[in-house]
A and B are shown apart, each in its own frame.
Chain A
Amino acid sequence: MTITAPDPAIDPTVVPTAGPQTKGPVRRALDRFFDNRAARAGLLIVVPILLAVSTYSLWWPFSPNAIDLRAINKGPSAIHWLGSDGVGRDVMARLLQGGRISLLVAVCSVAISIVIGFLVGAVASFGGRLVDGTVMRFVDLAMTLPPVIFLLVLASIAGTGIAPTILVISLLSWPVLSRMVRARLLELRERDFVVAARGMGAGLPHLLFRHGLPNCIDILVVYATLQIANAILLEAGLSFLGLGIAPPEASWGNMLNLARSTVVLEQYPWQWMFPGAVLVLTVLAINFIGDGLRDAFDPRSDLN
């Protein structure tokens, strides 16, 4: 049996949609995103910061751990633009290196928590009711743990450094995502086009990655941006408490840690004010971007 050309006896009344090819749903969401002023402002802040942080070693003369004994606790000057700290290290260099570490930790931990969150949500929604019930009670448990204490316990077990900090932050932040993914996939599972795929013999990998993932992309992108901001703050908090990134390695959090000393707080404000300001600015800008993405992916905003 083969499918042959149509019978001309049937009235060919179907009119093809005229005009040029139109965009897919992701392209339309991106167009909406770039129409959003706050989101554009966020990009305008984040992109230069990212560029500066990733390329600073090419154009900034000082390295973050180089000591200039003639410039201990000196304020901003033509040589050290943002001043120098108590052992004569350049604050600008440390700020940029700290940004590198903070953003690295944030991006990696969010990537890990997205993988965990998506897989847990997928298992819960496609694994049948028993698996779903069991996994979600476990997720509830993970969500009820008080975050700060959980973080401190984990950090004291895992120790300090970049890898343990990434681990700790990613272990803390996946449960919320897994609930969102589960809710989306539970709904998706009953949609006709997914039933059709099952009817054509689709297995779990096909359903998850050809239907599940594309239809969760909005959740994942929005979660990722908002969570990166959150992870930067968590890293700063951990490092501030001395559990995240340990000195002499720089991070925005452990630079702020210096402000615990009253002398630094009062007499050398450039040592904590700049990392604080960049931290706030970055987190704010990323949040703008996240909000913009959320609005852009919201199907209800399709109407305007």
Chain B
Amino acid sequence: MDAPFLTVRNLTKHFAPTAFSRGPVVRALDDISFDIARGQVVGLVGESGSGKTTIGRSVLRLIEPTSGEIRFDGVDITKLSAGPLVRQRRKMQYIFQDPFASLSPRMTIGQILTEGLDIQGIGSRRERRAKAERALAAVELPVDAYDRYAHEFSGGQRQRIGIARALTLEPEFIVADEPVSALDVSIQAQIINLLRDLQVRLGLTMLFISHDLAVVEYICDTVIVLYLGRIMEVAPAAALYARPQHPYTRALLSAIPSLDPLARQGRQVLKGDIPSPANPPTGCVFRTRCPVALDACAGIVPPLRATTSDGHLKACIRDDIA
């Protein structure tokens, strides 16, 4: 197996108060490490506030990480200076959650789509237009959308425009930050199918952020389960859904609505809310809500380690419950 396309090692992001403000240090991400192989789709799931978006933006260096290393095809992008970083950005793009906030109200779709080419100084005016129109075709929008404004489109169409914008620079890697959670269900399926089709056709590598486990199961090869800025479990999608190892993943999976009345009886409902990242629990961050926590869980931060041979990793000291 060749070297992974994207390698994240010990990524940490703390939001510290500045000279002009006060308050606690918010530990948004703590010691995050994972790999993505070329052409793979990795899902990132977790509750609100677990740090999904922070990871997505840090990986593209839209947020400066506090520490850690992000290797993109061998290049550590956390150490790139301004010039090389701008060139690197051609290869990596972001798809946003909210299709209403992600398109400028003052630009035509054509201006939005050619903006990246413009910034990167790629092509002549005519070539840029041609590329933008190809991107519109790729997301199945009519070419006459080019001269319109974003407010003339529906949520699903806007999300297609957002995807087209990410494609114009012909990136190798895309972070899709909950690309369907702002859309209604019928449109969600269209957008997911479109993303999947594009991913296969263009050979994209993708980090797919979502809190919808069903969507993640459908589109992802590997799933990372995040809780309070830490990775709880990493596994191939099939293995994760078939044999969840971590008590948090089990709770998440049992929260998926089921049509089987017998299955409902075994449901495991988490009590309380996710703790504040400004004041996380000691030891395992999940222990305050964990149904199988021991006293020992407060003492050590469980390392992420392999439990089975199929690439399944978990951060839990309870091997006896697996």
**Contact A129 B93, beta carbon cutoff 8 Å:** no
Interface-lining segment among B25-33, B162-170, B302-310: B162-170
Please list the 8 inter-chain residue pairs (A to B) with the smallest Cβ-Cβ separation, ordered nearest first: A200-B116, A201-B86, A192-B102, A16-B142, A201-B89, A193-B104, A192-B101, A214-B106
Given known contacts A21-B148, A199-B60, A201-B85, is B202 in contact with A1 (CB within 8 Å)?
yes
**A14 contacts across to B, CB distance below 8 A:** 140-142, 156-157, 160, 190
Contact B115 A200 (CB under 8 A): yes
Residue pair B149, A25 in contact (C-beta under 8 Å): yes
- B88 CB to nearest chain A CB (Å): 8
Known contacts A1-B202, A130-B19, A202 near B119 by CB under 8 Å: yes
**A1-15 residues at the B interface, CB under 8 angstroms:** 1-7, 10-14
Q: How far is the CB of B25 from chain A (nearest CB, A)?
A: 16
A-B contact pairs, 24 of them (CB 8 A): A2-B170, A3-B135, A3-B137, A3-B167, A5-B137, A6-B137, A10-B140, A10-B193, A12-B140, A21-B147, A22-B148, A25-B149, A130-B19, A193-B101, A193-B103, A195-B94, A196-B162, A200-B119, A201-B85, A201-B86, A203-B82, A211-B104, A214-B104, A215-B106
Given the contacts A2-B170, A10-B197, A129 and B105 also touching, CB distance less than 8 Å: no
Q: Is the interface of A mostly helix, strand, loop or mixed?
A: loop
- Check B170 against A200 for contact (C-beta < 8 Å): no
For residue B68, give the distance in angstroms from its CB to the closest CB of chain A. Answer: 19
Q: Which residue of A lies closest to B186 (CB)?
A: A13
Is A1 a contact partner of B170 (Cβ separation < 8 A)? yes
Provided the pairs A6-B140, A14-B156 are in contact, do residues A24 and B167 lie with their beta carbons within 8 angstroms?
Answer: no
Mask of A1-42 contacts with B, CB within 8 angstroms, 1/0 = 111111100111110110001101110000000000000000
Against A, the Cβ 8 Å flags (1 = close, 0 = not) of B110-121 are 001001100110
A187 CB to closest chain B CB (Å) equals 11
B214 CB to nearest chain A CB (Å): 20
Q: In chain B between 57 and 83, which residues have their CB closer than 8 angstroms to a CB of chain A?
A: 57, 60, 62, 82
Residue in chain A with minimal CB distance to B85: A201
Indicate if the CB atoms of B147 and A25 lie closer than 8 Å. no
Residues facing A in B126-142 (CB within 8 A) are 131, 134-135, 137-142
State in angstroms the CA–CA spacing of A17 and B148 once bound together: 10
Given contacts A196-B102, A200-B115, contact A129 B96 (CB under 8 A): no
Taking A14-B160, A199-B60 as contacts, is the C-beta distance between A7 and B115 under 8 angstroms?
no
Q: A193-B103, A202-B119 are in contact. Are A4 and B201 (CB under 8 A)?
A: yes
Cβ of A249 to closest chain B Cβ, rounded Å: 42
Contacts of B86 in A (CB 8 A): 201, 203
Determine the residue in chain A with the shortest Cβ distance to B177.
A192
Q: Please name all residues of chain A whose beta carbon is closer than 8 Å to the beta carbon of B119 when the two chains form the complex.
A: 197, 200-203, 206
Q: Which residues of A contact B (CB under 8 A)?
A: 1-7, 10-14, 16-17, 21-22, 24-26, 129-130, 133, 191-193, 195-203, 206, 210-211, 214-215
A200/B89 contact (C-beta < 8 A), A16-B141, A24-B149, A193-B101 known: yes
Q: Which B residues are in CB contact (< 8 Å) with A24? A: 106, 108, 149
The residue in chain B whose Cβ has the minimal distance to the Cβ of A10 is B197
A211 to B92, CA, bound (A): 21
Give the number of chain B interface residues (Cβ < 8 Å). Answer: 63
Alpha-carbon distance A167/B271, docked complex (angstroms): 66
CB distance from B74 to the nearest CB of A (A): 18
Interface string of B154-197 (1 = CB under 8 A from A): 00110010100101011010000000000000000010011001
Cα distance, A7 to B20, chains bound together (Å): 54
CB contact under 8 A between A201 and B201, given known A3-B134, A215-B106:
no
Q: What separation, in Å, do the CA atoms of A195 and B89 have in the docked complex?
A: 12
Q: How far is the CA of A192 from the CA of B95 in the complex (A)?
A: 10
Residues of B within 8 A of A191 (CB): 101
With A7-B201, A14-B140, A16-B141 in contact, do A196 and B165 touch (Cβ < 8 Å)? Answer: yes
Expressed in whole angstroms, the minimum distance between the Cβ of A185 and any Cβ of chain B is 14
B2 within 8 A of A: no
Whether A25 and B165, one on each chain, are in contact in the complex, defined by CB atoms closer than 8 angstroms, is no
| Apart from A14-B140, A14-B141, 19 more pairs, CB < 8 Å | A2-B170, A3-B135, A4-B201, A10-B140, A11-B190, A14-B157, A17-B148, A22-B152, A24-B106, A26-B106, A192-B98, A193-B104, A195-B94, A196-B96, A197-B115, A199-B62, A199-B89, A201-B120, A214-B104
